[in-house]
Structures are given as structure tokens and as C-alpha cells.
Amino acid sequence: MDFKNTEAFALKLDAADPLQKYRETFHFPQVNGSDVIYFTGNSLGLQPKNAAHFVEEIMKDWRELAVEGHFYAEKPWWDYHERLTEKLAPVVGAREREVTVMNTLTVNLHLLMVSFYRPAGKRYKILCEEKAFPSDQYMLQSQVRFHGYAPEDAIVEVAKRPGEHHWRTEDILEAIEKHKEELALVLMGGVNYYNGQVLDMAEITKAGKAAGAFVGWDLAHAAGNVKLELHDWEVDFASWCSYKYMNSGPGNASGVFIAEKHLNDPDIPRFEGWWGTKKETRFLMQPRFDPMDSADAWQISNAPVLALAPYLASLELFEAVGMDALIAKRDQIVAYLEFILREIDKEVESSFEVITPAHARGCQLSVFLHGEGKSLFDYLMKNGVITDWREPNVIRLAPAPFYCSYSDMYRFGQILKKGILEKA
């Protein structure tokens, strides 16, 4: 498509957008009396308007039924999470029994490491990307120390090549091959939080499995953003937060994937609690753990239904739209955003460098603002562009297809240009 940097063209794209109507299903913050241009769905998604209703349902049941809400609410609390998993499984390319919702992301990764990081003999190393999200780094370091290893020895970090801003798949595969006799686990971020790169999860999983290692993925920036086929890729496990592209609310519950082949393995270790026992026997208070035959066996405590309610509200929207439609709009709106950046670059004495590789991107464009400082970011924020600053001079722009419009992209370009020219 031949793009144009005009308001009329942006409005024409909006008029032809089959997802445009979903913009009205989200609440937008206001700056200077107008809806913001929201680029931080990669950090916290906007609130779906139906979320409050889902929460109020539970509040009403709690108010009117008290403890009986566990079984007699319209959506009984004791199996509330199952309503999420049936809608969540298609989003991540899983079978329903391979998915559950519990805890938060790093808590779940720690719990999954009990099952899938089992160093023995010469196999004790974990392979990850260099400068992974800090929480992942801390989690991995603490896990290897817990098992008696030194992080600098047990953790293999794959670096980007000097002068490059993204990882090359061949370098990751080469590192797996180099350490294949010592690898216990490959655990990486499916989409890098800083540069927005989508790693080749299928190829890396295949290589890790061939090397004899377990393979897991942190999908915090991938779930609800990119096409995932966790079952078909034969991933062992994965986890993701729900509050970014999945719009479930700040710090909300995490999703978990555990491959079907591991679900009924009697030899797999895990930390266990009563909510992972079979529903039929859970309230018999038996002394021995009788696991569910699904990922629910990894649950420990009863589900926090007040937290799950907004997640379910958002998942109903995902079910209505489908990932294919979201990805189709994502690709076009991100391409239009990049076009706008290139056009503005021609009109001002600055230089924008998109460091997110064209062949491996989702919603996010990470952009070096050469010659600009944080004052430009501050200008954008004061003028209703909610974006994200990363040192030394990168802004992350993530136009989530559920609620961002092509008109937003055009307006952003005009505000960006004005901010640079006013400073000059």
C-alpha cells in the first residue's frame, strides 16, 4: 500500500478498519481534554469498558452469597479460571488442558523451574539472551545459586553482534550447539522488551530440544501480540503476564503453558498445593496429592477471582476478534507508524533510527532519537502522547491494534515534528 502522511489518508484507513469499532470498548486517559495517543500497551494495556461489570458480578455474588459463591454464583468461583483457559488457549496456540492462569509471571517462572530446571551431572547450564528483562535475570541467577552453581558459569548469555541492535538466530543456534552437552534449559524472552524483536521461537525450540534440553519461553511481550503455536512448536513450558497486550489490569494474574506430554508424568517434580488436586476429590481433604490431568495441577492456591474477572473481560474481546485479525491490523498500523517516522525525519534536523528488525517485529517499534534528549519525550507526554523512554535515547512505540487508530499515528507525527521544531 502506498501510504500518505495526511489526515485525510489516516481517516480513510480508519474508515476501512474492521477493528475500528473496538476502540470504543476501551477507556482512554485524557490530556488537555482529549483522548491520549497511547503507545504503552506493551507495558499496561488500556482498561476494557466491560471489565468493571465483570468485577461487579463477583462483588455482587460475594455480597449476596458470601462463601456460597464458590459453588452457586452465576460463574462459580471454584472453576472460574476454566472460563479463561478455554479462551486463552487459542491466543497462545495451545490445547486447553495445557493452559492455566495463576500467580504472577516471575512467581510462575520460579515454580516452573522446579519442574524444568533439573541440573544433573554435566547438564546444568541455562541459555538465555544477553540483557534479558531484569526480573528474568534475577530469577535465573537465584535459581542456579539455589542449585549450587555460579551464575557466571551456569548461565550462557547470547549477545548481539558488535554494532548491531538485534540478535541473529544463527548466533543463538550456534550457542546451543556449542553448549549442547551441558545445557539443561533454554529459557528466553519470546519478544525482547527493549528492541521489540520477535525471536524465532519455533527454530530455537527445535534446536534446544535436539540438544537434549528443556525449552521454555517468557512471553510477557508476546502473548496477545504475536502468533504463537506453543503446542505445535513442542515448547516444554511458557509463562506470560496478562496486563500488557492482554489488558487485564496492573500486576494481574499470569498465564502458564505446560506441554501435554508432561501433564501426566508421575516423575515430574513440582511444588504442589490443594488447588492442583482433582476437582472431584479436592474438598475431601485427602492427605495425598491427586493431581489434575491438566496444567491446573501446577496451581497451588484457589484462584483470585477478583483479579481474574478483568482478564476474562478482555479475553472475551480476543475471542470475538481472533489473533489473525489483530495481527493483520498490527502489521499495517506498525508499517504506517514507521512510514510517518520516515516522513517526519525528512522534515526536521533529527535522525530517527528504528532498531526493531523489519523481519522480526510485533506491535513495538523501538526508535533511537539521535540528536534528541529526554526533553522531547517530556514534550510528547505533556501533549498527550503516552510513550516509554529507555536510556540513553530510545522511545518505545507500541500501537496496540485493539484501540490505536491510524489517525493516532498521523497526529503523533505532527506532535513529534512540532516538538522538535519548537526546541530548535
Q: Could you please state the CATH topology (level 3) that the domain comprising 52-321 is classified under.
A: Aspartate Aminotransferase; domain 2 (3.40.640)
Q: Does residue 120 have a pLDDT over 70?
A: yes
Comma-separated ranges of CATH 3.40.640.10 domains in the chain: 52-321
Q: Does residue 213 have a pLDDT over 80?
A: yes
Q: Does residue 185 have a pLDDT over 90?
A: yes
Place of cell 550462557: 156
- Cis amide linkage into residue 392, ω under 30° from 0: yes
pLDDT at 283: 87
pLDDT at 351: 82
pLDDT at 424: 62
pLDDT at 330: 98
Place of cell 547470547: 158
Comma-separated ranges of CATH 3.90.1150.10 domains in the chain: 7-35+322-423
Any idea how long the chain is?
A: 424
pLDDT at 412: 98
Q: For residue range 351-405, what is the model confidence (pLDDT) as tens digits?
A: 889 999 999 999 999 999 887 778 899 999 999 999 999 888 899 999 999 999 9
Query: Residue 71 half-sphere exposure, CB side, CA atoms within 13 Å?
Result: 4
pTM reported for the whole predicted model: 0.96
Provide the pairing of β-strand 155-158 with 351-354: unpaired
Residue 191 corresponds to which cell in the numbers above? Answer: 519478544
> Of 229, 227, 224, whose CA–CA distance to 245 is shortest?
224
Q: Does residue 423 have a pLDDT over 80?
A: no
Q: How many helices (H) and strands (E) does the chain have?
A: 13, 15
Q: For residue range 34-92, what is the model confidence (pLDDT) as tens digits?
A: 999 999 999 999 999 999 999 999 999 999 999 999 999 999 999 999 999 999 999 99
> Of 414, 402, 407, 413, whose CA–CA distance to 48 is shortest?
402
Q: Could you please state the CATH topology (level 3) that the domain comprising 7-35+322-423 is classified under.
A: Aspartate Aminotransferase, domain 1 (3.90.1150)
